Structure 1
Amino acid sequence: MALPVRRQLQFWGVFAALLVLVLWFLGDVLLPFVLGMTLAYFLDPIADRLEKLGMGRTAATVTISLGATLIFVLGILLIVPTLAQQLQALFTSIPERTTQLTDLLTERFPSLMDENSTLRQSLASLAEAVQSRGGELAQAILGSAASVLNIVLLIVVVPVVAFYMLLDWDHMVARIDELLPRDHAPVIRRLASEIDRTVAAFVRGMGTVCLVMGVYYAVGLGLVGLQFGLVIGAITGLITFIPYVGALVGGTLALGLGLVQFWGDWVQVGLVAAVYIGGQAIEGNVLTPKLVGKSVGLHPVWLILALSVFGALFGFVGMLVAVPVAAAIGVMVRHATEVYQESSLYEGTESAARRSARASTPRVADQPDPRG
């Protein structure tokens, strides 16, 4: 006999509360496992495609793992040291850059940049604040990364978890499907499929877009000779998932540094601007439509709210689960809205009665022919 709806709500409410408590108290411990699961989810389509080409699941998993390990090692050896060096140099050079910008503005607009002007004092204060806070932020990030992620867990546990999750992914999905409540299994499958499409479009599609655009901006700015191009490209790629914000922030940084570095050489400044204009054209017309699709189902404001709330409550683990949770909530809200609009609570008792009467009235084609 099926459980009453009230008992089912109580059961799933207790389950959700226990899940929140586990994330709250064991967030740091669960971090490598969540990272491994996220990596396996990201790579599962590649394994499925290799299987369709005739490769076994074990061989596909081993091939993907070796490729991912090679990319990771090359990134650690070639990119991370340069990125850290440029980031530190950028924070260190901010006062000098601000002084150069002040001198340029003083030369062009002497009335606005006298010794006691508000604009000059604001620029000086901003430079000091960014340098001090930027250094503190960099040290905090490095310190927290060393204490929370733990190098051993990052190098050993995450790849091992990702390997076994990727190897057994299809079996786990099938096992979870067997455990679904039979009365609600069709609805749960439909909602899970919508959630998977939304998360896949965002995590896999937008993650690929962010990676490609980060590489594009870093290489493009480096080729035009802009200092700190790698850092600016990484920042731009990291926040490209927010429409227009990534290009706006990265373009402002690049143009600001470009004006200071190439003042008077307007061809170089134009090349810096051309890199971002070209990047927006590629992202908006090619990458996002092909990899993400026209509608992901995650509004940028809703996504930022989810990342902020889960990040504040559960730390880095919360930020990792924020996207799938936000997608799940969005799908369930849309489903609840559809159910509500089909209910008598929305249509009223008279509308529901008329609809029921129309449904019970036989159509002309269904009525018996009096001529026999």
Structure 2
Amino acid sequence: MNSISSRTFWVSLAVAFGVTLYVTSSVLAPFLIGVAIAYMLDPLCERLDRIGVPRWAAAGAVLFGFFSTLTAVSYFLIPFVWGQLVDLVKHLPEIRTALMSYLQPALDAGKPHISPMVIERVQEIANISTGTIVSGANKIVKGAVTGGLAVMDVSVIFVLSPIVGFYLLKDWPELSSFITDSLPRAYEKKILALARAIDQTLAAWLRGQMVLCLVLACFYMVALTLSGLKFSLLIGLLTGLCAFIPFVGFAIGLTAALVAAAFSFDTWTGWACVGFIFAIGQMLESYVLTPRLIGQSVGLHEVWVMFALMAGGAVLGFTGVLLAVPTAAILRVLLKSAYGSYLESDYYTK
């Protein structure tokens, strides 16, 4: 295969892969989740495999342990979170009134210095915004309860993902050998070196980020509950789960907590307590959890991750979000390799 036909082959393969991904994006979610589960649990299967456990038994045992733990946590946690979610919807009109009571003094203080037209416009925007929040939250909860299609989609994910994960875990060595044997012989060593670098980057980020989200969710749920904040479990869980999006999870959690504080506390002491909890949580995340669980060697910069998640969601929706971080890890390794080749080329040295 000459250089022109080789280039045409790889470009055609990339285009075909992209088109297939775009066309099938609406049904890929359970399969991608299954791949992610298999990828995360494969090291445990490898350890059981090394001590003589058959691969199918190792895959079944690891998956059973993983989903048993997940089910047990959900069994105890979901009823409390769901109860707070329903309670939140009931109290949304009161929360809106409380927010307006906090905003109104600031608007009144600014009246002597601001045009009446501007004041009127700000009040109109505030009323529209709080009304939108109330109606939007009601729609979300009602949709979660009555949306049969959404429930069916979630059920499909919960049924298919474990099946996909089991077969991938069971056949992981054969799949790895097949892919390795299919690589172009002239580029095998370079491709495998890049694959190892991608695996190291992605595994460190993915597994570390999962533990980080879990620890932060537990911290915020416990701390906010002890502070007396209403909807603390819901807000703490939301903050922890959104922590995989750098800074965005913290901002969402802090905003929700401050809104709840307006409804929970009569003095500024409660507000200060909530702010202190989120300050401690941010320091814990930045200076303790991230260095220990993920480390600086991963190299996936926060801005790079944020861009990947937003771009993936904009292009492919939920499927794009699932593919965002793996794609970012692959691109980072490829760009780093290309930059190294550039530094060794005549374009740079001459």
- How far the C-alpha of 1:145 sits from its partner, in A, is 8.9
- How far the C-alpha of 1:52 sits from its partner, in A, is 5.5
Q: Which residue of 2 aligns with 1:80?
A: 78
CA contact (8 A) 1:106 1:113 kept: no
Give the counterpart of 1:294 among 275, 279, 296: 296
Q: Which residue of 1 aligns with 2:156?
A: 153
Give the counterpart of 1:13 among 3, 11, 14: 11
User: 1:1-372, aligned counterparts within 5 Å?
Assistant: 3-51=1-49, 55-104=53-102, 106=104, 110-112=108-110, 117-118=119-120, 119-137=122-140, 146-147=149-150, 150-264=153-267, 266=269, 268-347=270-349, 351=350
In structure 1, the gaps of 5 or more residues are: 352-372
CA contact (8 A) 2:246 2:305 kept: no
CA contact (8 A) 2:49 2:58 kept: yes
- How far the C-alpha of 1:49 sits from its partner, in A, is 4.0
Give, in whole Å, the separation in 2 of the partners of 1:29 and 1:144.
18
Give, in whole Å, the separation in 2 of the partners of 1:221 and 1:126.
26
CA contact (8 A) 2:246 2:302 kept: yes
Which digits, 9 at most, give the CA deviation of each residue in 1:49-82, with x for residues without a partner?
Answer: 4456665544432322222222333344333344
In structure 2, the gaps of 5 or more residues are: none
> Which one is further off, 243-252 or 184-193?
243-252
Which digits, 9 at most, give the CA deviation of each residue in 1:116-141, with x for residues without a partner?
Answer: 94454443222112122334455667
Q: 1:241/1:151 Cα in 2 relative to 1: closer, same or farther (>3 Å)?
A: closer
Secondary structure of 2:342 counterpart: helix
Aligned identity (percent) is: 34
- How far the C-alpha of 1:272 sits from its partner, in A, is 2.3
CA RMSD of aligned residues (A): 3.0
**Counterpart residue type for residue 304 of structure 2:** W
Give, in whole Å, the separation in 2 of the partners of 1:275 and 1:131.
26
**Aligned length, in residue pairs:** 345
> Which one is further off, 31-40 or 45-54?
45-54
TM-score by length of 1: 0.81
Q: 1:55/1:71 Cα in 2 relative to 1: closer, same or farther (>3 Å)?
A: same
Q: 1:144/1:166 Cα in 2 relative to 1: closer, same or farther (>3 Å)?
A: farther
Secondary structure of 2:156 counterpart: helix
Secondary structure of 2:15 counterpart: helix
TM-score by length of 2: 0.86
Give, in whole Å, the separation in 2 of the partners of 1:23 and 1:341.
34
- How far the C-alpha of 1:238 sits from its partner, in A, is 2.4
- How far the C-alpha of 1:104 sits from its partner, in A, is 4.3
Secondary structure of 1:310 counterpart: helix
CA contact (8 A) 2:217 2:239 kept: yes
Give, in whole Å, the separation in 2 of the partners of 1:9 and 1:148.
45
Give, in whole Å, the separation in 2 of the partners of 1:234 and 1:68.
20
- How far the C-alpha of 1:41 sits from its partner, in A, is 0.7
> Which one is further off, 32-41 or 136-145?
136-145
CA contact (8 A) 1:32 1:149 kept: no
Q: 1:336/1:24 Cα in 2 relative to 1: closer, same or farther (>3 Å)?
A: same
Q: 1:260/1:147 Cα in 2 relative to 1: closer, same or farther (>3 Å)?
A: closer
- How far the C-alpha of 1:325 sits from its partner, in A, is 1.4
**Counterpart residue type for residue 4 of structure 2:** R
> Which one is further off, 272-281 or 143-152?
143-152
